Structure 1
């Protein structure tokens, strides 16, 4: 391992461990380009971390300019430094391409500047606050720095980045023009998680989106309740991306396969019914226990059970008797049979609970295990391996709750404890999100527990909760009595389903306590545009009423930006030097922040909080005066596109609109044009709006 460089065509290329990392680094400055050439032979210098190879290079100006500037490249085992030796004041620039792994995460790894702003990305987005790239497959971090100003910009391929540096120098200093430092085993060693495995999203490119029965029915759930909710979900939220219908506890009899009287038709029938609605059935279980406290298996199979040091049967979660996972018969007759049977039934989503302390219980009872030679971690992971083998990669396995020892087996992991409608229970969703989000899409999909929006929760808090989940892209499971939800609460769910392909840009765990971050900045990049969706939150009454955003806080480059209120459907003007917004306790404001380069300017769409999955293409043809796009419409869901057409005395007047396969109308809201589309079925719709410049008196010019 280690850094190596070579020169090609006057540019510097650097590789780490034999793999190209920095390509085509070019030095310039003050309208002058430099080529690099060797200044003597490289030589080695011993250091505590290993040998460093020093290359001295000369900057050769491609025109009149300084000819006595040298650059030294220090190639160490982990760090590469490009150090300048200037002779007079000069403003240098450097640019080139960075490649780092097959699924790189542009990120920052410590709070630093504006650490109270949470950053996330959807698509190849970037931020001026990010200085690192994480390769999750090799568990390797690359951090770039400079004595000057360095920035990383994501390129459209999503796998490479443009690094740019600006550095002013003077004689007597030897500044680093650019330094690249590698942290190996960033998670497994740096986070003390030796079981870390990168999550392969091939089979599940998006986090699960669905419904869970627990927080609205508990153990009193019935077959009729499941049918009623499945019917409602298929009709009302399946078109918006909901997939899973998960039964959570209350069904089991003597075993997880023998169901009680509240489910007379059994698990296979229920799974088939849900599938018949075009949805995917899910199930909750505690596979490490027998889900009946006084099970007859205690007498029939005494050797199956986990024993405490005093010889008594171990009980913990729900006071259920725990099983010995090292017993061959338990492996075969319990774990293998349970999951193989449920797969035959058609179950597609498995939520296994009570996982957080499993290794501790096995450590306590280790000497009484059927095979005491295995470590507690091995005992736990052995039955996870059985489950994964039986259900296959195409079905979802949710680990509940936080258990990093399950890495490599779970598709998703609960990162906190149960939520609810009161303030303390709601806060559990915040604790889970802010402390565990850094693992999202890297080790698995993070699950901060369900989303509750029923009327027992104030509407503003329900909206804030929905916004947090919509902007973070975590596992999204609603948990209300769906047929009883008022329309205004259902509308919240429509605008956040399904969970999107959002990844973290801040790779560190935040403290799970108040005060929580109040700005969530989702950065979105598509083939046709870039924007930020910024959630501003006042979680509790003790939080300050005002939240301020600036271009610098959001890591945005210099320029003008326009603000649009997603939930309020209102244009709020320019960001300018910064804006302050006053919020009521428990409320939020979700802003779409768009760079302003001229009119017409898309402000926002109504389909999804991220503004992402619906608008597939957008083009402006100034010659024809036509704004055109392609949108995916949900059947019978009115769809709106808001466009700024007037600002600072300039603007356009609409002449008409057309759409293929949808009803269309346009309406003005001050300087904003509203395009409304509606289709009787879900489909892609191409649309056009014809515009004409306005004259100074406000009329359309011919």
Structure 2
């Protein structure tokens, strides 16, 4: 008999080169370079594609170890096959057929095969019977994946009828995950198997297990799909991950328009900022942004505003915009500015720069939402003007946050849509320009500078905004002009987020418009705050802060700072979805879920979900409801989580796997209940102490909730540098801390064991 290692030195089959020696097999499959879909716009050069999918394999039958490599990803694990709980050997080829490896039964006979095939960018690991053989068994591939440090597990295969919006914070794992994604490289590794599980070990390292059954004539296939340019090819041709140096945290702030509309003066803005300094700044409120400051901007429509010449409304802003920015900065905030510079209502400016604007075939000025006279960005002097006005506002006036309005929107009133219309393209100074809109967006960024935060108001991740801006206003205004916020505006916030969350905090930060709680009933205010805060969206407030009732001011505080949350599923949804599920991993608390049960209807409803929909094991859980401060318990025999929710309301429950010792289950610090205030926590079993450290904000009280198992009873608590008050409700301790200034407080909770 000629052994395989002697028979096969090197064989090429279907583009796969194989070599074998001493029981080791290696082979490489190459795919053509993947083209970049970015066409290059205006003066933007086409980006070079730097990623090509190349699979390399190594198998050592001595320990059944298979190594798969592609780009900067390595999978290393062991192949196993069990039939009737009896292990078979997983071996190389026994008959010299290249790339057809074997399943060998305990008697030493080849009864089945496993092969590695490439189909496009996919690698298939296929297991099947030898002809005429019938046996059942389970094949598995289990080991470790090494990927980029920024990679995270996620889901990329939609399922019809999904009811749960899945979100993640930290290295949170879910049984629903089927992929790994690296934002830095826009690189996706997707898995397909009858059973698949992936868990984070440390940054860039993951454990995995794929398994499936061979039943009679049925085969089993594991598929590994490497997709360079996952977002860029599917959804975002201008893909670029968020610049974390420019925008290390999600922006927060206050802006006037949704309450003052176009009437806010400099003093109105500063009066609100003084209140914000006391009640919001300690929690992380960062920007104070000025709206409707331009000449002729105190009366809608926006197309009449003097948007392009930096003329200031002297009645409302008598000291000018630089002085206002300086005063905002003295209060500890970073100043921000609203602009709508795609056009103007200033007739004199238009006449002086007639050639900068679009005209129809009869010479009539073309109007848009941004101005009676709409800019032609293919005119070089017009683009230079855009750069200059943003440079002045940024460098000379000192504004650090720019909200640029009138961008993509949903119709031709906004310039991205308008500029794409054939009849408008024919009117450009340079009709051959591929994307005039990008020329504007690029000019904005170049003018404001690389160190400023750019919010694209009505910006789309499908457009060039994704390359230049950090944040995107994802929906319409939450209010109509000079009207209070109503329930339909809150629902719109939710539906826009659900549709666009799949790119949030990866490409652009989602901006839901301002959070307004003052005019809403309490339940609706809680719902709006949950919509904004649970997914970690950009959080700007718009209420008149003077006179805002204490419990509603606390709602605003409970959204700050913005939690670091990213989507769990990297594809769009449509609708509102009744359940939002935030999976959290905390260094000291562990892994748990925070579930929002939304009732979008006008009558009370039971809102429910299942462990399977949440991507968690069906086991017993303990938890706590955030808004009504009620304990929550789940038994696995119930098979679904269900809560009765009032109309237009939300109930927000943190659920934890049950421990047999006292455990943290919630706090009132933040809507996400992500334990951002917990900087240390440890159970000391011998002394029956729960020791920890919490971060307090000023003199504002903080309450946290501890689940106490039946065999323990509360003894005492000691706190350093803070007052502590303890209330026991059934088996939950409510502990309220209150200090004199912001800082960390150590605590120790003493428990006693009950005598049965």
Fold match by TM threshold 0.5: yes
1:428 aligns with 2:492: yes
Q: Deviations over 1:387-445 (max 9, x none)?
A: 22232333210011033322100100111111121233333212311111111022210
Q: CA deviation at 1:181?
A: 2.0
Partner of 2:323: 269
Identify which range, 341-350 or 260-269, moves more after superposition. 341-350
Partner of 1:322: 374
Q: CA deviation at 1:369?
A: 2.9
SS at match of 2:278: helix
Q: CA deviation at 1:639?
A: 1.2
1:587 aligns with 2:649: yes
Distance 1:578 1:411, change over 3 A: same
Q: Is the contact between residue 682 and residue 692 of structure 2 (CA under 8 Å) also seen in structure 1? A: yes
Identify which range, 394-403 or 115-124, moves more after superposition. 394-403
Partner of residue 383 from structure 1, selected from 418, 440, 444: 440
Q: Deviations over 1:61-83 (max 9, x none)?
A: 9x999975542222344112222
Detail structure 1 runs of 4+ shifted over 6 Å in the superposition: 30-35, 63-67
Q: CA deviation at 1:34?
A: 7.1
1:338 aligns with 2:390: yes
Partner of residue 97 from structure 1, selected from 144, 165, 177: 144
Q: Deviations over 1:12-52 (max 9, x none)?
A: 11112x43332224436588777754225987xxxxxxxxx
- The 1-side partners of 2:138 and 2:430 are apart by 68
Distance 1:447 1:42, change over 3 A: farther
Partner of 1:611: 673
Partner of 1:402: 459
- The 2-side partners of 1:484 and 1:77 are apart by 63
Identify which range, 261-270 or 559-568, moves more after superposition. 559-568
Partner of 1:507: 570
Figure out how many residues of one structure are paired with residues of the other and give that number.
668
Distance 1:568 1:237, change over 3 A: same
Q: Deviations over 1:159-181 (max 9, x none)?
A: 332222343333432212x2212
Structure 2: tracts of 5 or more residues without a match = 1-52, 297-305, 409-413, 480-484
Q: Is the contact between residue 285 and residue 560 of structure 2 (CA under 8 Å) also seen in structure 1? A: yes
Q: CA deviation at 1:206?
A: 2.1
- The 2-side partners of 1:25 and 1:78 are apart by 23
In the TM superposition, 1:577-656 aligns within 5 A as: 577-612=639-674, 613-646=676-709, 650-656=710-716
SS at match of 1:466: helix
1:677 aligns with 2:734: no
SS at match of 1:226: helix
- The 2-side partners of 1:591 and 1:33 are apart by 44
1:224 aligns with 2:281: no
Partner of 1:83: 126
Identify which range, 395-404 or 31-40, moves more after superposition. 31-40
- The 1-side partners of 2:401 and 2:182 are apart by 29
1:156 aligns with 2:219: no
Identify which range, 522-531 or 253-262, moves more after superposition. 253-262
Q: Deviations over 1:544-581 (max 9, x none)?
A: 71111322221102432112111122212224332321
Identify which range, 294-303 or 230-239, moves more after superposition. 294-303
- The 2-side partners of 1:624 and 1:38 are apart by 57
- The 2-side partners of 1:252 and 1:108 are apart by 49
1:286 aligns with 2:340: yes
In the TM superposition, 1:519-558 aligns within 5 A as: 519-528=579-588, 529-541=590-602, 545-558=605-618
Distance 1:73 1:335, change over 3 A: same
User: What RMSD over aligned residues (CA atoms) do the two structures have, in Å?
Assistant: 2.5
* TM-score of the aligned structures, taking structure 1 as reference length: 0.89
Q: Deviations over 1:341-363 (max 9, x none)?
A: 43332211100000013233334
- The 1-side partners of 2:365 and 2:592 are apart by 57
Identify which range, 195-204 or 347-356, moves more after superposition. 195-204
Distance 1:465 1:3, change over 3 A: same
Partner of 1:359: 416
Structure 1: tracts of 5 or more residues without a match = 44-53, 697-702
Q: CA deviation at 1:102?
A: 4.7
Identify which range, 221-230 or 424-433, moves more after superposition. 424-433
- The 1-side partners of 2:508 and 2:641 are apart by 36
Q: Is the contact between residue 393 and residue 448 of structure 2 (CA under 8 Å) also seen in structure 1? A: no
Identify which range, 583-592 or 74-83, moves more after superposition. 74-83
Partner of 1:47: none
In the TM superposition, 1:395-474 aligns within 5 A as: 395-403=452-460, 404-405=462-463, 406-420=465-479, 421-454=485-518, 456-474=519-537
Distance 1:359 1:371, change over 3 A: same
Partner of 2:22: none
Partner of 2:173: 126
Partner of 2:220: 175
1:116 aligns with 2:163: yes
- The 2-side partners of 1:414 and 1:607 are apart by 27
Partner of 1:46: none
- The 2-side partners of 1:285 and 1:110 are apart by 39
Q: Is the contact between residue 603 and residue 642 of structure 1 (CA under 8 Å) also seen in structure 2? A: yes
SS at match of 2:751: strand
Q: Is the contact between residue 256 and residue 285 of structure 1 (CA under 8 Å) also seen in structure 2? A: no
Partner of 1:197: 240
Q: CA deviation at 1:101?
A: 4.3
Q: CA deviation at 1:624?
A: 2.0
SS at match of 2:612: coil
Identify which range, 567-576 or 114-123, moves more after superposition. 567-576
Q: Is the contact between residue 387 and residue 448 of structure 2 (CA under 8 Å) also seen in structure 1? A: no
- The 2-side partners of 1:169 and 1:682 are apart by 61
Q: CA deviation at 1:630?
A: 1.8
Identify which range, 87-96 or 618-627, moves more after superposition. 87-96
SS at match of 1:521: strand
- The 1-side partners of 2:138 and 2:390 are apart by 68
Partner of 1:22: 75
SS at match of 1:661: coil
Q: Is the contact between residue 240 and residue 497 of structure 1 (CA under 8 Å) also seen in structure 2? A: yes
Q: CA deviation at 1:453?
A: 0.4
Q: CA deviation at 1:470?
A: 1.3
Q: Is the contact between residue 213 and residue 247 of structure 1 (CA under 8 Å) also seen in structure 2? A: yes
Q: CA deviation at 1:658?
A: 1.9
Identify which range, 203-212 or 167-176, moves more after superposition. 167-176
* TM-score of the aligned structures, taking structure 2 as reference length: 0.83
1:211 aligns with 2:258: no
